[in-house]
Amino acid sequence: MGKENDRIKPFSGPPEETLDYSKLEGFIGKSSPFHEPHDEVTRSDIRHWCEVMQDPNPMYTDEEYAKKSKYGGIIAPPAMVQTWSLDDMHDALQRFVHGNQPFKEDPHNQLFDVLDSEGYNGVVATAQEQTYLRPIKPGDVIRGKITLARVSKYDHFTRQGIGRYVDILYTFVNQHDEEICVESFRVLKYKPPMDTRRLYEG
């Protein structure tokens, strides 16, 4: 009796509908415009970051020490590159609490809207890689754009749910239009399991 109850039973739920990839492929390779930051780079921002992250590197906070380096002065920790281009607190609340998405015309946001409408309304970050090209200094103005690099052509079955991987590429430049960082970022847009669970016989 125990063996009979333990055997894997066939699916009895309805078949899953497959997303038509042609709804997505028109966005591939397209970029947003460069968006302006909400602030310029300041020493106080750098200091606050280092205090919170407990980063004692004198290149970031000790002017006398930094003057003797090849940079000739204080620089920001490279990982801060998105600090000045991310939403400020007000805009972040509008986005995540009230659902007011800024820059709705950007290709990646349009693609996310399509995925959301098809039921892929969960999201989780899965990979990130940054390449630093130039130092960030106080007084710099960091602008960024997002390019939609790739979307899965088929569904992936994951622990989060059925989903599609989306690869986006960030490009950050300073006020001289010099690239300071490029970043690849992958997210999984998935259907929450409660929407896609399959029922078993018995």
This prediction has a pTM of: 0.81
d(CA 143, CA 176): 10
Look up residue 149 and give its amino acid: A
* Parent domain of 153: 15-40+104-195
Assess if residue 89 is contained within a domain: no
Q: Could you report the per-residue pLDDT of 143-170, keeping only the tens digit for each? A: 999 999 999 999 998 888 889 999 999 9
CB 59 within 8 A of CB 52: no
Cβ-proximal residues to 8 (8 Å cutoff; 6+ apart), any chain: none
Assess if residue 58 is contained within a domain: no
- Share of residues in the chain with pLDDT > 70 (%): 81
Assess if residue 183 is contained within a domain: yes
Of the CA atoms within 13 Å of residue 167, those in its CB half-sphere come to: 10
CATH code of 175's domain: 3.10.129.10
Assess if residue 167 is contained within a domain: yes
Assess if residue 56 is contained within a domain: no
Assess if residue 72 is contained within a domain: no
Assess if residue 81 is contained within a domain: no
Number of domains in the chain: 1
Assess if residue 154 is contained within a domain: yes
Structure tokens at 117: 């409408």
pLDDT above 90 for 15: no
